[in-house]
C-alpha cells in the first residue's frame, strides 16, 4: 500500500471539535502506531533529500514531535518555534491573525545563522497563519527556509498561499 495512503486512512475525523461545524483531523492514531509514526518520519525525511538542510524547525507543539525526530535522524539541530512567552532567553517574535483574533510566535534570536537552510515542520497546514508567521520569523533572523512540511494539509483553506515562495510538501492532503 502507498505509505501516504496508509497515513491518510489512519487520520481520524472528529465532528464538531473544537466547536460545532468543524471536522477536526485527529493525528493521534498515527502517533500511537509505531509503524505509522515511523512511516510519517521516513516520508518527511525523504522529502528533505537534496535540499541541503542544516536545521529543522518545528512549530509548537505537534511540530516538535515530528521535527525533532527528523532532525535526530538527519543529524541536524532542531529549533523550536514557540507560542509567545514560552522561551527563556532573548527572542524575536511575530504576531499574526487567526480566524478569531491574533496569536504570536517566537524563537531565540541566536537560533539560526545566515547560512542556515531550514526545513519547517508541523502537523497541520490549514489557513497558513502560524506557518506563515514562523517562516517570516526564520527569515527575519536571517536564515533561508528551503521547504515547509506538514503531515496533513487542508487544501481547501489555501494555506500554502501564505508560504509562497517557500515550497510546501504535505504527506496527506484533504
Residues annotated as catalytic (active site), given as ranges: 62, 99
All three cell numbers of 91, joined, read 527572542
For 43-60, b/e burial (b = at least 16 CB within 10 A) is bbeebbeeeebbbbbbbb
Please state the φ and ψ torsions of residue 90, each to the nearest 5 degrees.
Answer: -60, 135
Which are the contacts of 74, defined by CB distance < 8 A and separation ≥ 6?
A: 45, 48, 53, 56
Amino acid at each position: 500500500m502507498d505509505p501516504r495512503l496508509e497515513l491518510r486512512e489512519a487520520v481520524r475525523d472528529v465532528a464538531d471539535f473544537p466547536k460545532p461545524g468543524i471536522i477536526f483531523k485527529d493525528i493521534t492514531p498515527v502517533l500511537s502506531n509505531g509503524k505509522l509514526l515511523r512511516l510519517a518520519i521516513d516520508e518527511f525525511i525523504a522529502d528533505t533529500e537534496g535540499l541541503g538542510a542544516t536545521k529543522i524547525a518545528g512549530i509548537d507543539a505537534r511540530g516538535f514531535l515530528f521535527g525533532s525526530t527528523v532532525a535526530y535522524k538527519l543529524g541536524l539541530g532542531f529549533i523550536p518555534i514557540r507560542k509567545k512567552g514560552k522561551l527563556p532567553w532573548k527572542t524575536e517574535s511575530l504576531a499574526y491573525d487567526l480566524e478569531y483574533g491574533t496569536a504570536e510566535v517566537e524563537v531565540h534570536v541566536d537560533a539560526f545563522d545566515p547560512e542556515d537552510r531550514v526545513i519547517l515542520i508541523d502537523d497541520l497546514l490549514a489557513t497558513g497563519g502560524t506557518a506563515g508567521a514562523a517562516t517570516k520569523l526564520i527569515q527575519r533572523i536571517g536564515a533561508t527556509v528551503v521547504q515547509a512540511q506538514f503531515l496533513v494539509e487542508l487544501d481547501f483553506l489555501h494555506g500554502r498561499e501564505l508560504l509562497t515562495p517557500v515550497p510546501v510538501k504535505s504527506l496527506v492532503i484533504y
